[in-house]
Amino acid sequence: MTLHRKYIIGIIALLVLAGVVVLRIVISNTGADTRKQNVPIVRVEKPRQETVTYSLQFTGDVVPIQQANIYAKVGGTLERVYVDMGVPVSRGQMLALIDTTELFQTRQQAEATAENARLTFNRTKDLYEQSLIAKQDYENAQATMKVAAAALDVATTRLDYARIVAPFSGIVTRRSLDPGAVVTAMITSLFSLMDLDNMKVVVNILERDIPRITPECEAAITVDAFPGKTFAGKVTRFSQAVDLATRTMPVEIDILNKDHALRPGMFANVTLRVGERPNALTLPTQAFVRDDQGSFVYVARADTARRVRLAAGVEQSGRIEILSGLDGSEDVITTGQQFVRDGGPVVVQKSGHE
């Protein structure tokens, strides 16, 4: 082998050795970078103290507290109608009049009969006081007078029934007949009257929630007709009995409706406030992780993630109440927790002001 060939082989060997060294350095650096990149970067937040409100959600229909279908108590021809649909009326205001011709004649006959019975009784009384007639005749005349007086009262009352009046103040929401129609007593409905100043929603409370409902519980009511508007109400009446078929108890919530914004028949969503817990610990909803054993969060301790199981309460405004498991001093991972594992390393990203 010549000196020249030995020289070339030596150079090649040096180049191969140098390549191996460079390759190992590159692989080592790449592995270190990879290990460094595999450590998840997370954000943390301490539990916040705030007042948590406990509430129950229901649906129901808006109905008036006071409403009635008005019927005629006597039959006859409808002579006049004084109000129409949508008209406000006051208590005692005349709504319609039934033809009084026959009723008036009946009352006149009853009045004449009562007057005759009264005169007969007075004459009989004078004779009885003079011992000219038997006591039986006196008592018969007295009874006849009372019967005639009662018949007069009935005739007078029936004549008054021809005047259809409003039993309470409200709005006429329906008028069924026009003048000239024949009205049958207690069968034909003439009007529907509703008091729109005071409304109510009836909700059905589950049996397990009944102990949480108390008088004067506040309620927030919303309807589709007024998006974003909330009406205030209070629990006022309880059924006091559980329906055996549904295992629920009807509860009525009153709503003041002076501006008549709420209308009968509207579908209502009801949020019933049943209590509150001041100074409760809460965390953002996204901090919670759930598995088949329940809820847990990851807490960052010395750049290490630790799994902490806890009991979660109600959720409101994107935060969940913590019933147990944390004391409020922990740094809870709220972003990036899906990439960490229990006991694994983490890099806590500092906020901009830190």
Domain ranges of the chain: 41-51+278-348, 56-65+195-276, 69-194
Q: Identify the three-state secondary structure at position 323.
A: strand
| Nearest residue to 270 via CA among 253, 257, 256 | 253
CA distance 349 to 292: 30
CA distance 45 to 47: 7
pLDDT, residue 32, reads: 44
Buried b (16+ CB within 10 A) or exposed e, 265-299: ebebebebebeeeeebbbbeeebbeeeeeebbbbb
Q: At the topology level of CATH, where does 69-194 sit?
A: OB fold (Dihydrolipoamide Acetyltransferase, E2P) (2.40.50)
Q: At the topology level of CATH, where does 56-65+195-276 sit?
A: Elongation Factor Tu (Ef-tu); domain 3 (2.40.30)
Question: Model confidence over 223-239: pLDDT tens digits?
Answer: 999 999 999 999 999 99
Evaluate whether the domain defined by 41-51+278-348 bears CATH number 3.40.630.30: no
Question: Model confidence over 27-71: pLDDT tens digits?
Answer: 555 444 444 457 889 999 999 999 888 889 999 999 999 999 999
Total-model pTM: 0.65
Is residue 178 within 8 Å of residue 84, measured between CB atoms?
A: no
CA distance 312 to 57: 19
pLDDT, residue 28, reads: 52
| Nearest residue to 314 via CA among 46, 53, 50 | 53
Cα separation values, 223 from 231, 268, 304, Å: 9, 5, 49
